[in-house]
Amino acid sequence: MKDIDIYKWKRIKHYQYYKGFDNPCFSINVNIDITLLISYIRENKMSFFPVFMYCLMTGINNIEEFRYRVINDKVVLFDQVDPSYTVLNEDESFVFCNTLYNSDFKLFCNNVIKDIQIAKSGSNLKDESGFEKYIFISSVPWFSFTGLTHPFKKEDNHSIPRVTFGKFFEQNGLYLLPVSIQAHHGLLDGIHIAKLLDNIQQIIKSL
């Protein structure tokens, strides 16, 4: 992690403009073509969640803007960000689960599976120390959606991006996944989300 000298930073005007907003975030909802990913998962008999998480987190870590955070009113850049995501328990309540990102595909997927099993035995609904390094991720695999909002407290760290994905569906021979991405507008723009979506497609193809 390193501090950003905002007075030499290309986004200083955007950051200073949006930092005073009660809610400086914007969100975009899109359908991602995951046809190739579904074929890969079925051929290799893998679980969808850890594989898509790898594609998502690799794409995010490849883009600097998704690794900016505001901590104690200072802008910092993390070398790596990790996923913090929700896991459903048997009683249909959810808990928080964290996994360290790793660029090794099999290792990361295996770690996600292990961390989920550990999380299911607990009741964690607290953000641990250093939570700013995370990407907050939720999954709603029971339905597709065209819009989504998140609950916020005034003291929340708005600089942490939030990603939610729903139930994939088939349309015109393609498998599409609804994804919502929310981010601090002072730290990144729509073009960076476009880059992320393109990165995810390239990562899927590389599998």
Higher pLDDT, 125 or 144: 144
Q: Check whether 128 has a pLDDT greater than 80.
A: no
pLDDT (mean) for 12-25: 94
Q: Which residue has the tokens 């609950």?
A: 151
Query: Average pLDDT over the chain, rounded to whole?
Result: 94
pLDDT (mean) for 92-105: 94
d(C-alpha 177, C-alpha 55), whole Å = 13
What are the tens digits of pLDDT across the range 63-90?
999 999 999 999 999 999 999 999 998 8
**Which pTM value belongs to this model?**
0.94
d(C-alpha 136, C-alpha 162), whole Å = 5
Split at pLDDT 50, 70, 90, the class of 124 is low
d(C-alpha 24, C-alpha 184), whole Å = 6
Class of domain 2-206: alpha beta
Q: Check whether 14 has a pLDDT greater than 70.
A: yes
Split at pLDDT 50, 70, 90, the class of 93 is confident
Q: Check whether 111 has a pLDDT greater than 70.
A: yes
